[in-house]
Structure 1
Amino acid sequence: MDVRQFAFLAGQPSAAVKNRESFLGMPKRGLAFLLANVMFWQPMWAQADGIVVANPNTSLDRAGNGVPIINIATPNGSGLSHNQFHDYNVGAQGVILNNGSAQTSNTQLAGHIIGNPNLKNSGSAQVILNEVISGNPSQLRGYTEVAGQSARVIVANPYGITCNGCGFINAPRVTLSTGKPVLDNGRLDRFQVDQGSVAIDGAGLNASNVDRFEIITRSAKINAQLQAQNLTIVAGRNDVNAQTLNATARADDGSAKPQLAIDSSALGGMYAGAIKLVGTEAGVGVKLDGKLIASGGDIQLDANGQLSLVDTSATGAVNVKAASLDARGPVYAGTALNVQT
């Protein structure tokens, strides 16, 4: 049992002194619900459900319904909470990133949870960076929820990330990257991408409630539906600005190039308000056999190799730049179609 529950309650006036309709500003019924939800929390672990913490400033709890809780590290002066892991995976039940600086936070995945003690003096984080420093790829099979104040969520794993039924709650901006995060004076400056692949498989990815969803990787494989509001994929061996996503190609180190920068199978459609796909490596193509639908804006496609399309539609413009183009199906543009080869 989480001893913080006892410490929290022991510091409060006794509820038995007199009959009252509320306690700590909460109705009795709400308090009873909170206590029922947290009474059976397990002890804080160094690992749980495929999550192994690598730095002492990050800790793990578990909600009453079994959902893992990550008490994120204290953010620095730039609002960045930098958390490192040997393993970082999300099961079907999901995971909660505890960004709550208040005594309690209400969550969709687990109801009320106790606030994060690491944030007691600092306040909540603006950016939550979860970096994997071992050689183990990440499997994201459920929802990641930010408890408390909303924050940008970044999962960085050079050895690969697979999403199969993943999604995000209370995170206005989400980035999945196989690049190494590079900090400058406490701020996340860029992603140094040398390797790795991000794959969308099986049950796909639902980021329709996320303002901006981004994939930054050496190569991307879209084998299931990806839904987003504003979707950006930057593929190639690059230094990618963490804010603007502008990519600068890194000098060729002789490493083997992927066959395709972005490979979308017939089952791997991308549906978003606006879509931007960029493949920067010379001679490495982009193959889009799945549907590419932008229902609220433009589609921008930039490939430093051959670009193949099957079914592309945008309510705005479709802007294409590629070394060569193979359009094997219809391309619909609501306002303008611009092609440069």
Structure 2
Amino acid sequence: MKHLLQKAWLTRGALACLLWPLSQLYGLVVRLRRALYRRGTLRSERFPVPVVVVGNVIAGGAGKTPLVIALVRHLQAQHVAVGVVSRGYGRSGTGCVEVSAGSPLAQTGDEPALIQRMTGVPVFVADRRTDALRALLAVHPGTAVVICDDGLQHYALQRDIEIAAFDDRGTGNGWLLPAGPLREPWPERKHQGLDLVLHTGSKPAFDGFTSRRHLADDAWSSSGSQLALAGLRGRPVTALAGIANPQAFFGMLSDLGLTLETAIALPDHHAFTEADLAGLQGRTVLCTEKDAVKLFAMPAAAGLNVLAVPLVFSPEPAFFDAFDALLAPRLSPLPSTHGHQIA
């Protein structure tokens, strides 16, 4: 086993070295594109409301969608009218769509549907986030703040506040795609307009605010009924996750004392089919809320015991204090003419 692990490590290292030239080229393209926006060669658009972009510098899920939901709820608690825009990654539809409870997931994507269901705020998706934001303000002109779910690299949309989420991977090997996980150079990007960094894992790799995340005590079914997870202890359960880091979900279930008979890890934004549900009859299946948005809409899931386990995501109070301090001077009935564009 030791020799196999060493061989695997050497193989990954050799592959990364082979991809290093492509990584360097990617870095040049990223810097050139940013420079073109900064100089005005490529057009970017400003809107008359504060825009908060929440995204990732690292590829793959790092907790940005739970962070978007937490920010929306924070603003709702202060009676601030907030809306959300997104590209709707993974959707097959085109055009601009307002997400509602009855919207087909193929037109909206799973994460926008989850955000809308969890918060009830206006959520618009479009291939260009600027189109989504324009449509949102046209339909909901009283919106005071717009949060962009993902989009740190979408420079066509000017923003007032930038927030990056990181998980326990930190910046990985520190290399850009495809040799590493970074979408933009780090720490270079940190000094180019990024306002806040939030670590969503348990082991922050560098300075920034932290958050706690754990699973709720109760799971819920497609009918809305709840079941205490403590009542499942000692019984074999099946765990299913189509997210960026399925092992994190499985680990949190195990930490609750649950016995995972089977753990089914699927790709992020997985498009479930009836074949995925074959063989699950008679089992208790625990999934994430993101997966439940899709599973509960499937007729084939109606006869299964599928339960969604909510994630409790709690950024530290100091993070919200810093966010409020940045947003307060930008909350105004007048058009926003401040904030950074492309630093």
Which band: TM-score by shorter chain? under 0.3
Q: Which has the higher strand share?
A: 1
The higher-RCO structure (CA 8 Å, 6+ apart) is 2
